[in-house]
Amino acid sequence: MNHTLPSESEFGGEASISAPPSKFDVFADRGFRSATAMFAWLTVALVFLIVYEVGGSAMPAIQKHGVGFLTTQTWDLQSEQFGVLPEIWGTLYSSFLALIIGGFFGISIAIFLTQDFLPRKIEWAFKNIVELLAAIPSVVYGLWGIFVVIPMLRPTATWLHENLGWIPFFGTSLSGPGMLPAALVLAIMILPTVSAISRDSLNNVPNRLKEAAVGLGATRWEAIFGVILPTASKGIFGALVLGFGRALGETMALAMLVGNSNQMSISLFSPGNTLAALLANHFPEAGKDEEPVLMYAALVLLAITLLVNICGAFVLKRASRRTAGSH
């Protein structure tokens, strides 16, 4: 019991631990607060700056080619004929295929890892393995796709084309790069996004709902299909939209695997092209004539991805608002 109070001098003459902020403190506070607000606005300005820079560089091409750019199929430097319809088709088609495959597996994983199928430790291990998929750079996936996925698919693709060639999806043979290998690798790349966001929304389903369903005699899967998935459906839908947005903008794996061929085909094995791959392949060597045209293509890609991503963010926001109230 030996309390010694600090002497007055230790507190600069005044015998109190706290002190009101000095004039300098108030000044520094105001300055720092407005500085952080400025940085927040800078982030906002950045989005507009991107649209402005890309749009400004694309202006000459927009004036010259107009809307026809979106609906024509040729890409010819000599005659200055440019159209990105095959690229738009390829972007949407490959992303859609990737979404079907990646979405199915992503949601399956999300269900598997949230509905107590496994002991906690194994659940944790699987979760980390799926997250590791996101850590592999896309250029490495491209390399892997060239040397593993394409050779692996080729025998099956050839068989399908020879025997079921009358189905439009198998209309051409897989000579090398093509839509299906690109879409498969794309599916692997969006899988972590889809499964992580779906897992969040599945985890947000109140436990009582599931307990009630099981109490009424539902089997595990009747509870999942009848109660859990419908409750989490908005969040899962948001996950799929964001995954789709990711797939639309993915560049390297597609530039290496899709074949860079300026054609439209519904066949899974025919080569195609996407907007991002077009940019990756043409931009480094673009001359003064081609540059504004590529900027126009970049603007189209920007518009599509921004639209899809904003939709996804919006859906997710609404989904979380609804489940937040039901806890």
Residue count at the site for another protein (CB under 8 A)? 88
The verdict on 53 binding another protein (CB under 8 A) reads yes
Q: Which CB atom, from 235 or from 312, has the smaller least distance to another protein?
A: 312
Residue of the chain from 84, 160, 242, 268 that contacts another protein (CB under 8 A): 242
> What's at 44, amino acid-wise?
V
Give the C-alpha separation, 105 to 83, whole Å: 35
Stretch that binds another protein, among 76-84, 107-115, 157-165, 262-270 (CB under 8 A): 107-115
Positions 65 through 84 that interact with another protein (CB under 8 A): none
| Residue 121 in tokens | 């430790």
How many other C-beta atoms are found inside a 10 Å radius of the C-beta of residue 7?
Answer: 8
Contacts of 8 (CB under 8 A, 6+ apart): 14, 15
Q: Where are the beta strands (DSSP E) in the chain?
A: 75-76, 81-82
- Joined together, the tokens standing for residue 296 give 């126009």
Closest to another protein by CB, 89 vs 267, is: 89
Region class of 271: left (phi > 0), else alpha (psi between -120 and 50), else beta: beta
Q: Which residues of 172-200 are buried (b: 16+ CB within 10 A; e: fewer)?
A: bbbeebbbbbbbbbbbbbbbbbbbbbbbb
Please list every residue from 297 through 326 that binds another protein, using CB under 8 A: 298, 301-302, 305-306, 308-310, 312-313
Q: Is 214 in the site for another protein (CB under 8 A)?
A: no
Let me know: does 87 contact 274? Beta carbons within 8 Å.
Answer: yes
Reading the block at residue 89, the tokens are 């088709």
Among residues 252, 268, 293, 319, the one that binds another protein under rule CB under 8 A: 252
What minimum distance in Å lies between the beta carbon of 268 and another protein? 19
Residue 181 token pair: 């290998």
Which positions from 133 through 192 interact with another protein, judged by CB under 8 A? 133, 135-144, 146-148, 188, 191
Instruction: Give the x/- contact pattern for another protein in 12-41, rule: CB under 8 A.
Output: -----xxxxx---xx-xx--xx-xxx-xxx
Q: Two tokens at 221?
A: 């899967």
Query: Does residue 126 bind another protein (CB under 8 A)?
Result: yes
Measured from the CB of residue 111, what is the shortest distance to another protein in angstroms? 6
Q: State which of residues 221, 263, 318, 326 lies at the interface with another protein (CB under 8 A).
A: 221
